[in-house]
């Protein structure tokens, strides 16, 4: 297994989209209803994802650190992303879990309209959540969204927005990196590699940016491929074993932090 420590996290922006039209009876409907106009706008957002930014954020560092773990020819490809990055970025875009690493994502999460089966609704509202890639800002995403919607009948209101967090340093002389690596390998001795990456969700870490620039995010869980759909999905849970590992990890982290001297770095993280 491999472990990823997030050295940044994506920004977030939530937008409300609304359409208002004259109400009426369903027996003589207009050519477009408020629902139809807004549904078409949401379809345009989904059909036009934001640009692929592979190579402009920590995802490039992640792939480079993982290169030795792959067999030929993947190790050759990952070690030469200056040449193969267009191919790798297309492959990453195929799956939602990896697509989230390479672009700002668009998720239509709420849609409300209509009060009765025979009434043309006067109002329709949709809520969309964007998770912003580290190479973009909320303002840039908002401008792109306006251009994609391109319909003055659709009003856009910013509910909440914040930019991606700064990228924290990644080297073995950095206290946080070294202590996390050591604690991970103390708790999960079977881990083959510890690599930097991006947290695609949001945490409370953004409240510490005025205290330090070295912020790291790690959740000590062993996740299989079939566990990912459970996150905010059906049968969301963690195992008893994972819960025990979380407690063990935090206990070990506190112990490892109780030091005045940073140990000498090792060539490979699995040698710690």
Q: Are 86 and 174 members of one domain?
A: no
pTM for the complete prediction? 0.89
pLDDT above 90 (res 203): yes
Continuous segment of H or E residues that includes residue 174 = none
Among 143, 162, 181, where does a domain finish? 162
Q: Are 157 and 220 members of one domain?
A: no
Q: Are 206 and 253 members of one domain?
A: yes
Residue 16: which CATH number?
3.30.70.360
pLDDT value at position 225? 75
pLDDT above 70 (res 125): yes
Asked if 221 and 242 touch (Cβ cutoff 8 Å), the reply is yes
Q: Are 218 and 117 members of one domain?
A: no
The three-class DSSP label of residue 196 is strand
Give the length of the chain.
272
Reported as a single tens digit per residue, the pLDDT across 218-235 is: 999 888 777 777 888 888
Q: Are 155 and 228 members of one domain?
A: no
Among 162, 191, 207, where does a domain finish? 162
pLDDT above 70 (res 262): no
Among 138, 162, 186, where does a domain finish? 162
Q: Are 82 and 102 members of one domain?
A: yes
Q: Are 18 and 142 members of one domain?
A: yes
Q: Are 173 and 143 members of one domain?
A: no
d(CA 6, CA 218): 6
Reported as a single tens digit per residue, the pLDDT across 15-33 is: 999 999 999 999 999 999 9
Reported as a single tens digit per residue, the pLDDT across 186-197 is: 999 999 889 999
Q: Are 152 and 28 members of one domain?
A: yes
pLDDT value at position 271? 42
- State how many domains the chain has: 2
pLDDT above 60 (res 272): no
Report residue 140: phi and psi, to 5°. Answer: -65, -40
Reported as a single tens digit per residue, the pLDDT across 245-260 is: 999 999 999 999 988 7
pLDDT above 90 (res 132): yes
What is the domain range of residue 241?
Answer: 2-7+166-271
Pairing mode, strands 11-20 and 123-132: antiparallel
Mean pLDDT of the chain: 92
Asked if 103 and 50 touch (Cβ cutoff 8 Å), the reply is yes
pLDDT above 80 (res 264): no
d(CA 110, CA 16): 9
Q: Are 104 and 219 members of one domain?
A: no
């Amino acid at each position: 297994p491999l472990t990823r420590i997030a050295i940044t996290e994506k920004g977030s922006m939530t937008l409300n989209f609304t359409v208002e039209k004259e109400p009426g009876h369903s027996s003589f409907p207009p050519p477009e209803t408020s629902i139809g106009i807004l549904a078409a706008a949401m379809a345009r957002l989904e059909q036009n994802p934001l640009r692929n930014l592979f190579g402009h954020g920590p995802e490039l560092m992640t792939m480079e650190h993982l290169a030795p773990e792959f067999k030929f020819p993947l190790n050759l490809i990952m070690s030469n992303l200056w040449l193969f990055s267009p191919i790798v970025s297309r492959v990453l875009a195929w799956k939602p879990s990896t697509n989230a690493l390479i672009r700002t994502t668009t998720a239509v999460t709420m849609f409300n309209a209509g009060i009765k089966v025979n009434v043309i609704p006067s109002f329709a509202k949709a809520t969309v959540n964007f998770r912003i890639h580290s190479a973009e800002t909320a303002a840039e995403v908002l401008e792109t969204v306006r251009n994609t919607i391109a319909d003055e009948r659709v009003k856009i209101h910013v509910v909440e927005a914040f930019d991606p967090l700064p990228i924290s340093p990644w080297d073995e002389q950095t206290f946080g990196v070294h202590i996390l690596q050591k604690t991970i390998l103390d708790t999960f001795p079977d881990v083959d590699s510890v690599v930097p990456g991006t947290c695609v969700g949001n945490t409370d870490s953004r409240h510490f940016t005025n205290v330090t620039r070295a912020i790291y995010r790690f959740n000590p869980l062993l996740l299989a491929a079939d566990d990912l759909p459970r996150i905010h999905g059906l049968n969301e849970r963690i195992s008893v074993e994972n819960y025990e590992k979380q407690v063990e990890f935090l206990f070990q982290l506190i112990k490892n932090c109780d030091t005045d001297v940073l140990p000498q770095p090792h060539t490979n993280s699995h040698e710690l």
